Structure 1
Amino acid sequence: MSAPLYRQIAHKIREEIESGNWREGEAIPTENHLSLQYSASRVTIRQAIKCLVEEDLLKRVQGSGTYVNEKKIEHNIFELQSFTEEMRQLNKEPVNHVINFQMITPSDYVREMLQLPDGEKVFYIRRQRLVDHTPYVLEDTYLPVTMFPDLSYQIMSGSKYDYIERVRGMKIKESFQEVIPILPEQEIATSLSLEETTPILKIQLHSIFFDGTVFEYSEIYFKSDEYKFKLRASRP
């Protein structure tokens, strides 16, 4: 028994993608064009596209069209890398858009995470991390003012870890991370160009130097349609 027509068409579209005829990030032909190409109704074409959207091969962008999905970035949480370093390894050039940069009195929770005495100020920085004009990550970072007195908007428009290690000469040892699936608040969803009903992944982390000093606390929001998290487990 032959497969339904929409599945046959989905298979042909999949072949176009796998052969490289339809490239990652590019818009696919319109439903009208595909309807003529495959001698099928638009309803059938829509069913075929729906199958491939569910497989993450295609993605629909409201008001724009349907695109070949780019492969998700594999984020290894066991490797401490900056977003800039991670993207450049993939031959992508990241852009850091600083949305907020200010000196604040931290909440009790942030103060405890940074192991700061009462009255210490921190820099709070919210950065939108983009590649090819697409937001991938939203990051809220808290850094002690006494540790980084020369920190500036311009510095945070670049690589934070590059500044800490190359400019300040401080050696980063490791970070401690907690991964939490959440539904984003409106402001976060807007910054990531998402609907509030789209699940995302939040990482809460604090990082330390080799002498054990905690130097940052960050909350990082990852788009689940751009990232997948890679873990390696071994038996004891």
Structure 2
Amino acid sequence: MTNRVNNSHIKKDCPTPIYMQVVDYLRENIASGAWEQASKIPSEVELMSTLGVSRGSIKKAISRLVDEGLLEQIQGKGTYVKSKDISFPLTEGLISFSESLIEQGLSFETSILDCEIRKSDEDISRHLGIVEGSDYLHLERVRSVEGEPVMFIENNINMALVPGIETADFVNEGLFAIIERLSGHQIEYSKTSFVAKLADTQRADALGLSTQSPLLQQLQTVYLDNDSAIEYARVWLKSSRFQLGTVFQRRH
């Protein structure tokens, strides 16, 4: 293949290194939206032909943008524009994932996988503060952000505190809003932890991942303003899409 310079993109007499000119070309295509988030960019061979530069310059430029978080390489598939991380700030108080997505201006959809009344076992009873064998609502949902499934949500709800919740519209109304409307109480606080997990078959299939893919799991018990436990949630987050952040104040 002849590496003929395309003067509209690459100038060999320019003091800027060739690979940095390739970086600028790639970055411009991403910033302009010519290459959309999660889309595959042209192959190295195609870029060599378009720009008239060596494979080494292409590889170096792509590596630079991978390090910057603009591109990601998937073995056996190619190079893709990396989707924007979904932020979940931990310093903004207790908000739901749907409320956080709305604040970020991200479009999302919720799919219901399961919604049924179950009898509580020892684990659920302990988290919800109910007698073992009590009725509770078990809810499983997948939330997709801009068309990509990014979280598998399992909610276990103390039905005695929210009469009628089994008929609520969990697709079009947020769970926290439903709870506050039906219970007549405000959600006050939660006890929350995060742990690293590997995707089992159910979570992997729902999120479009391979089994054993890394996930971030949120475990959360939510309490009303009268200190009653209303919900125990297990949420599996696609770790490649989420960024958790907080601010630490220096002790004096």
The TM-score bracket by the shorter chain reads 0.7 to 0.9
- Is the alpha carbon distance of 1:102 and 1:61 closer, same or farther for their aligned partners in structure 2, counting shifts above 3 Å? farther
2:54 equivalent to 1:34 = no
Deviation of the 1:43 alpha carbon: 6.9
Between 1:24-33 and 1:2-11, the stretch displaced more is 2-11
Deviation of the 1:104 alpha carbon: 1.4
Deviation of the 1:172 alpha carbon: 0.5
- Aligned pairs for 1:1-236 (under 5 A) are 9-10=22-23, 12-17=25-30, 19-20=31-32, 22=34, 24-25=36-37, 27=39, 29-31=41-43, 32-41=45-54, 45-46=58-59, 48-60=61-73, 66-78=79-91, 79-152=93-166, 154-158=168-172, 159-236=174-251
CA contact (8 A) 2:162 2:182 kept: no
Q: Gapped runs of 5+ residues in structure 1?
A: none
Q: Given the two structures, how large is their TM-score scaled by the length of structure 1? A: 0.84
- Is the alpha carbon distance of 1:136 and 1:29 closer, same or farther for their aligned partners in structure 2, counting shifts above 3 Å? closer
Which whole-Å deviations, capped at 9, do the CAs of 1:89-108 have from their partners, x for residues lacking one? 12223211011111112231
Which whole-Å deviations, capped at 9, do the CAs of 1:93-149 have from their partners, x for residues lacking one? 321101111111223122101111122121111110112221121111100222233
**Aligned mates of 1:24, 1:167 — CA distance in 2:** 41
Deviation of the 1:62 alpha carbon: 8.0
CA contact (8 A) 1:25 1:70 kept: yes
SS in 2 for 1:156: coil
Deviation of the 1:202 alpha carbon: 0.6
Counterpart of 2:103, as a letter, is Q
% identity of equivalent residues? 23
Between 1:88-97 and 1:220-229, the stretch displaced more is 88-97
Whose radius of gyration is greater, 1 or 2? Answer: 2
- Is the alpha carbon distance of 1:43 and 1:183 closer, same or farther for their aligned partners in structure 2, counting shifts above 3 Å? farther
Q: Given the two structures, how large is their TM-score scaled by the length of structure 2? A: 0.79
The number of residue pairs the alignment matches comes to 234
